[in-house]
């Protein structure tokens, strides 16, 4: 049990349970014990289930493909009956505990997952790191002093340390793919409307999405099969897939038209390590028979970034007002950057907000035209090779925060603004052994193609055997 998830992905563990080679209670109890050990150095899990709550979680698990597999749900964008959803904020720690699961969590349970805890996140998911004042910083198991990224850093740290085979993650500007890149994992952000956010209607003008970070491609695909589909009244729905996403991982992607970028649209040159990673990946794709050429979409990156800031600020202010139910945050209830974003959001006019959403749509049309010519766009996931703790601060000036944010979302945020799917794969490594994520973006609704390509790359350049040892030794 101690090292089960180093050798088995979630689907494989589910098969062990179905074959009665391991019992659900034995599996869950062993996983929680191991997670508690790992959490001492990592600080990745904010709440552990035990007692009656754990018993209910086990009883609620269906007999789907992940039957009995332990799972943690991020403290953002998803409610679990019986535990608070804090959004990584002290202000919401005392909120009434949800009495019902959100739609996606209910589907997780039906797929067989046993929720055993909640994972750490930055406050409101605003930072691409996981260092909230409430709960403290999560550590990257690959190296002391480094962040696992964010805002799904708690989930990514646990999976990277092989405490679980996969964990829930959400993505409003890169928060699945950024920690996947920094922690050596697979992470795919689905198309807008692929996974329902019910009971809320949307988040960030449709930019928010949820799925997981995982060791294997097939686990993410199978979980998307379980979560995909709309709920009554959803404002967006992605086009139906032609088959299952898991089946897509079992067939070759065919010859794809791949564009690659050596720098962000409208951005500065990259670290040579990242340029080299992109070039080697492009060569590998060409060797696999894909058509590869250098090209990038034509959109106004500065305008899209500004629009994102407008939407994020307005949503921060509004969400505080809605969730607070009349309570007013005290001086220590919110981190300084969160408070500044909320204050900025309060001053945003309806005209400015609508113009920002229109910018999202205009950028989406530009990407749509680009993907008429190409199937996939390749780049690094982030414009950094690592993220030392304290690089992106939530306790200072807004300008300093935005300066730290920019290289983290240079390739990812446009996918959220436009609603297209994108994924990060750990295909490269720095000279000193840190993972480097490669980012693949495609047209709206094209997750099947991305999963087929990811499975091909996973087979050609596997990563599962690469694992951090620091957290394991400390635990």
Positive or negative, the CA dihedral 440, 441, 447, 453 is negative
Alpha helices (H) in 257-349, listed in sequence order: 272-287, 301-324, 336-346
In the chain, how many domains are there?
1
Chain centroid, CA 295 distance in Å: 26
User: Mind listing the pLDDT tens digit for each residue in 65-80?
Assistant: 999 999 999 999 999 9
- What is the average per-residue pLDDT within 344-348? 97
**Cβ-Cβ contacts under 8 Å for 183 (sequence gap 6 or more):** 140, 141, 142, 148, 149, 156, 157, 159, 160, 213, 435
User: Mind listing the pLDDT tens digit for each residue in 297-339?
Assistant: 999 999 999 999 999 999 999 999 988 888 999 999 999 999 9
Chain centroid, CA 453 distance in Å: 19
State how far the Cα of 452 lies from the Cα of 251, in Å rounded to an integer. Answer: 6
Specify the pLDDT at position 85.
96
Phi, psi of 377 (to 5 degrees): -115, 125
pLDDT over threshold 80, residue 473: no
User: Mind listing the pLDDT tens digit for each residue in 89-127?
Assistant: 999 997 889 999 999 999 999 999 999 999 999 999 999
pLDDT over threshold 90, residue 190: yes
Counting residues of the chain whose pLDDT is more than 90, the rounded percentage is 95
**Cβ-Cβ contacts under 8 Å for 338 (sequence gap 6 or more):** 89, 123, 124, 126, 316, 394
State how far the Cα of 144 lies from the Cα of 159, in Å rounded to an integer. Answer: 17
User: Mind listing the pLDDT tens digit for each residue in 365-403?
Assistant: 999 999 999 999 999 999 999 999 999 999 999 999 999
Residue 39: pLDDT band with limits 50, 70, 90: very high
Residue 471: pLDDT band with limits 50, 70, 90: low
Residue 202: pLDDT band with limits 50, 70, 90: confident
State how far the Cα of 220 lies from the Cα of 159, in Å rounded to an integer. Answer: 13
State how far the Cα of 237 lies from the Cα of 268, in Å rounded to an integer. Answer: 35
User: Mind listing the pLDDT tens digit for each residue in 420-456?
Assistant: 999 999 999 999 999 999 999 999 999 999 999 999 9
pLDDT over threshold 70, residue 470: no
Residue 411: pLDDT band with limits 50, 70, 90: very high
Specify the pLDDT at position 324.
87
State how far the Cα of 237 lies from the Cα of 195, in Å rounded to an integer. Answer: 8
State how far the Cα of 98 lies from the Cα of 444, in Å rounded to an integer. Answer: 33
Residue 196: pLDDT band with limits 50, 70, 90: very high
Query: Within 10 A of 94 (CB to CB), how many other CB atoms are there?
Result: 10
Taking each helix axis as running N to C, give the angle between helix 336-346 and helix 398-405, from 0 to 180 degrees, rounded to the nearest 10. Answer: 100
Q: Residues 111, 66: contact at Cβ < 8 Å? A: yes
Domain of 120: which CATH number?
3.90.1300.10
**Cβ-Cβ contacts under 8 Å for 234 (sequence gap 6 or more):** 193, 196, 197, 198, 201
pLDDT over threshold 80, residue 206: yes
Q: Which domain holds residue 54?
A: 4-474
Phi, psi of 422 (to 5 degrees): -155, 155
User: Mind listing the pLDDT tens digit for each residue in 240-284?
Assistant: 999 999 999 999 999 999 999 999 999 999 999 999 999 999 999
Instruction: Give me the active site residues, please.
Output: 74, 151, 175
Specify the pLDDT at position 72.
99
- What is the average per-residue pLDDT within 29-44? 98
pTM above 0.85, yes or no: yes
The neighbouring-strand residues paired with 379 are: 439
Q: Residues 152, 121: contact at Cβ < 8 Å? A: yes
Give the CA dihedral 98, 137, 133, 97, nearest 10 degrees: 10
């Amino acid at each position: 049990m101690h090292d089960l998830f180093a050798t088995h992905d979630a689907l494989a563990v589910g098969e062990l349970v179905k074959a009665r080679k391991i019992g659900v209670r034995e599996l869950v109890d062993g996983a929680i014990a191991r997670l508690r050990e790992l959490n001492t150095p990592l600080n990745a899990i904010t709440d552990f289930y035990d007692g009656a709550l754990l018993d209910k979680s086990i009883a609620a698990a269906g007999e789907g493909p992940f039957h009995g597999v332990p799972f943690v749900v991020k403290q953002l964008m998803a409610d679990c009956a019986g535990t608070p959803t804090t959004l990584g904020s002290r202000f919401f720690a005392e909120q009434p505990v949800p009495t019902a699961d959100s739609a996606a969590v209910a589907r997780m349970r039906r797929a067989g997952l046993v929720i055993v805890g909640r994972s750490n996140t930055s406050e409101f998911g605003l930072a691409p790191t996981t260092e909230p004042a409430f709960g403290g910083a999560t550590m990257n198991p690959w190296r002391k002093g480094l962040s696992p990224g964010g805002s799904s850093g708690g989930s990514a740290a646990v999976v990277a340390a092989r405490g679980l085979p996969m964990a829930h993650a959400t993505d409003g500007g890169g928060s699945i793919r950024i920690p996947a890149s920094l922690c050596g994992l697979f992470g795919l952000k689905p198309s807008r409307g692929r996974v329902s956010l019910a009971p809320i209607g949307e988040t960030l003008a449709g930019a928010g999405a949820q799925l997981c970070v995982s060791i294997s491609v097939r686990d993410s695909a199978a979980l998307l099969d379980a979560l995909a589909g709309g709920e009554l009244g959803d404002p967006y729905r992605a086009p139906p897939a032609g088959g299952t996403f898991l089946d897509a991982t079992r067939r070759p992607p065919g010859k794809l038209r791949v564009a690659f970028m050596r720098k962000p649209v409208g951005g500065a040159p990259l670290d040579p390590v990242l340029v080299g990673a992109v070039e080697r990946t492009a060569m590998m794709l060409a060797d696999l028979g894909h058509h590869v050429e250098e090209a990038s979409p034509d959109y106004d990156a500065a305008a899209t970034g500004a629009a994102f800031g407008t939407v994020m600020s307005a949503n921060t202010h509004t969400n505080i007002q809605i969730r607070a139910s009349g309570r007013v945050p005290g001086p220590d209830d919110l981190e300084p950057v969160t408070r500044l974003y909320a204050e900025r959001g309060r001053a945003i006019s309806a005209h400015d907000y609508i113009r920002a959403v229109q910018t999202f749509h205009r950028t989406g049309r530009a990407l749509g035209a680009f993907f008429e010519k190409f199937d996939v766009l390749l780049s690094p996931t982030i414009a950094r090779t690592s993220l030392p703790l304290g690089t992106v601060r939530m306790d200072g000036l807004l300008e300093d925060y935005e300066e730290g944010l920019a290289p983290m979302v240079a390739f990812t945020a446009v996918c959220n603004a436009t609603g297209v799917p994108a994924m990060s794969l750990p295909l490269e490594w720095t000279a000193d052994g840190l993972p480097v994520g490669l980012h693949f973006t495609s047209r709206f609704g094209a997750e099947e193609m991305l999963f087929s390509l990811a499975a091909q790359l996973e087979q050609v350049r596997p990563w599962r055997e690469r694992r951090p040892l620091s957290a394991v030794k400390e635990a």
